[in-house]
């Protein structure tokens, strides 16, 4: 495994890395703790890109969920999808863009694994059996109305306001 600091020391184009200034209010800090702080600072980019992928590629914020429990289940589903991308990294073909460099299978990014996932999915075992052919259920009878309305949350107005500007002026004066 490579040393953690080697990728910081090299920049393309024969450039020197600029110093990173970090501030901490901790007193009596040890050298090991200081090393941990700057490594955590550098790792924040990994986390930011992970959340960006969850939102843009895996659709974390796409559904309009009304129930907090449904939002929790959706978040766990996204985490499972991301984990599956990581676990299938070594099996996925590297379908790269023309400007991307080839990468060994253990270094593929989740986005590149996702790109090759359609070729990989038929080779993976499925956790569920094949669906049984059936007819669709009866559903709601034709012409009937949906009586179960969606829950509506009030915004929480605190004062009753006048409906027109003249009404507002007459109440003021």
Measured at the alpha carbon of residue 171, what is the angle toward residues 165 and 173, in degrees to the nearest 5?
100
Please check whether residue 90 is in contact with residue 103, taking contact to mean a CB–CB distance below 8 angstroms: no
Q: How many domains does the chain have?
A: 2
In a domain, residue 132? The reply is: no
In a domain, residue 85? The reply is: yes
Rg (CA), the chain: 27
pLDDT tens sequence across 35-54: 888 888 888 888 888 888 88
Residues 70 and 104 in one domain: yes
pLDDT tens sequence across 113-128: 888 888 877 877 777 8
The predicted model gives 142-155 an average pLDDT of 79
In a domain, residue 32? The reply is: yes
The reported pLDDT for the residue numbered 51 is: 87
In a domain, residue 163? The reply is: no
- Give the Cβ contact number of residue 110 at 10 Å: 22
């Amino acid at each position: 495994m490579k040393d953690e600091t080697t990728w910081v020391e090299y920049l393309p184009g024969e450039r020197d890395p600029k110093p990173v200034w970090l501030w901490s209010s901790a007193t009596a800090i040890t050298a090991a703790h200081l090393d941990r702080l700057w490594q955590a600072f550098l790792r924040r980019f990994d986390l930011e890109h992970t959340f960006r992928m969850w939102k843009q590629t895996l659709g974390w914020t796409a559904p309009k969920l009304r129930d907090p429990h449904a939002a929790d289940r959706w978040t766990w589903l996204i985490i499972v999808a991301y984990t599956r991308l990581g676990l299938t990294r070594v099996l996925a073909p590297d379908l790269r863009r023309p400007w991307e460099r080839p990468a060994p299978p253990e270094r593929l990014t989740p986005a590149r694994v996702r790109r090759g996932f359609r070729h990989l999915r038929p080779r993976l075992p499925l956790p569920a059996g094949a669906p049984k052919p059936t007819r669709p259920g009866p559903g709601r009878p034709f012409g009937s109305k949906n009586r179960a309305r969606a829950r509506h949350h009030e915004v929480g107005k605190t004062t009753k306001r006048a409906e027109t500007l003249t009404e507002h002026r007459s109440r003021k004066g």
